[in-house]
Amino acid sequence: MRRFLAATLSPLILSACASASDHRSDLVDSSWTFTAIDGDAPVSEKARLTFEGDRIGANVGCNGMGGPWRLEGGRLIAGPLVQTQMYCEGPVWDQEKAVGALLAAAPKFGVNGDVMTIESGGHSAELRRE
């Protein structure tokens, strides 16, 4: 019985590990432009997410945020994130708070070609590879 379980589960475990590393290779040293934040178009042309080595960076149009990142169980783990503290107001501020909360929530993510989706319980984003 143990051999049967090991033989049955081993390919599943290996495919899960391969899947996570495949997605990591999709992200390392890449830049993405936000096309939607919580279903709305970004209010700034500066709305970007970058992956440089083991660092993630985000700017939605006002403050920049960044820190370490990794993938774990189909989720994007970012942080702890540091952020500049410039005064912002209006829609850009609202979208910045949404992206900060999204990244802090260990969101699910998926990459399909040049499109990435990131989703947590409260926020979502769609991005296109630059």
* Domain assignments of the chain as residue spans, ordered by start: 2-129
How is residue 88 written in tokens? 């912002």
Q: Where does residue 118 rank: exposed (0-12), middle (13-18), buried (19+ CB within 10 A)?
A: buried
**Average pLDDT along the chain:** 85
| Least confident residue range of 21-25, 47-51, 81-85 | 21-25
Whole-model pTM over 0.85: no
Residue 25 pLDDT:
74
**CATH placement of domain 2-129:** 2.40.128.270
- Residues 45-57 have a mean pLDDT of 96
